Amino acid sequence: MLYQTVGSERGVGLLTVFFSLLTISMGFLVSRRRGEPNVRRDVLLTSACVTAAACLLLIDIRTWSVTAYMIVFSFFNPLTVNTLTSHYYRLMDFLPLRGQFRIESVVIRELFLNAGRVLSIFALIWFADDPAASALPIVLVCASLLQFVMAALVRPASKNSNKPA
């Protein structure tokens, strides 16, 4: 979509560098955050912002809407990824045999992450095989709506103890 709206490889390259700088900057800011993050709040915030930005693509696929979507996604994606990753590793400390299943836990996590990536690629191929397809924004909106499911699956920390519920 970016190439479709910008029309030049140089423009796409420059914008990609800009989006990468945003991602790195946000990743740095998230890593500097102190204290226990509110995982559910962070995932809900990210999901709402990315979904709103994806809805801009339903209005019109122009340079402004694609750029706005990419800026929002580049800015908020590290918040979700870093928050969920740190939450996941904190949860491993509360497994029944503590750290004895760390490797197995990481393997299972990677299995599901990669299965999700494969399914999303198949969804793009199936529904939006042409870059000019009108289904591409719909696929992006649906994918961003699925992030709300992640927020629902994250259990908040128990108020009575330091470990997650």
pLDDT band at 132 (very low <50, low <70, confident <90, very high): low
User: Coil, strand or helix: which one is 157?
Assistant: strand
% of the chain residues with pLDDT over 90? 24
Q: Which run of H or E residues covers position 50?
A: helix 39-59
Half-sphere exposure of 133 (CA within 13 A, CB side): 14
Report the C-alpha gap between 71 and 21 in whole angstroms. Answer: 10
Ordered by start, the domain boundaries in the chain are 2-153
CA distance 74 to 15: 11
- C-alpha of 22 from chain center: 14
Average pLDDT, the chain: 82
Give the other-Cβ count within 10 Å of 73's Cβ: 19
Place of tokens 């529904």: 127
**Prediction pTM value:** 0.78
Confidence of residue 63 (pLDDT cuts 50, 70, 90): confident
Structure tokens at 77: 């994606």
Backbone angles phi, psi at 129, to 5 degrees: -70, -20
Indicate the range of 8-22, 49-63, 78-92, 120-134 predicted with least confidence: 120-134
> What CA–CA distance (Å, rounded) separates 79 from 93?
22
* Tens-digit pLDDT profile for residues 142-158: 888 988 988 888 876 55
Q: What tens digit of pLDDT does each residue of 24-37 get? A: 998 888 878 766 67
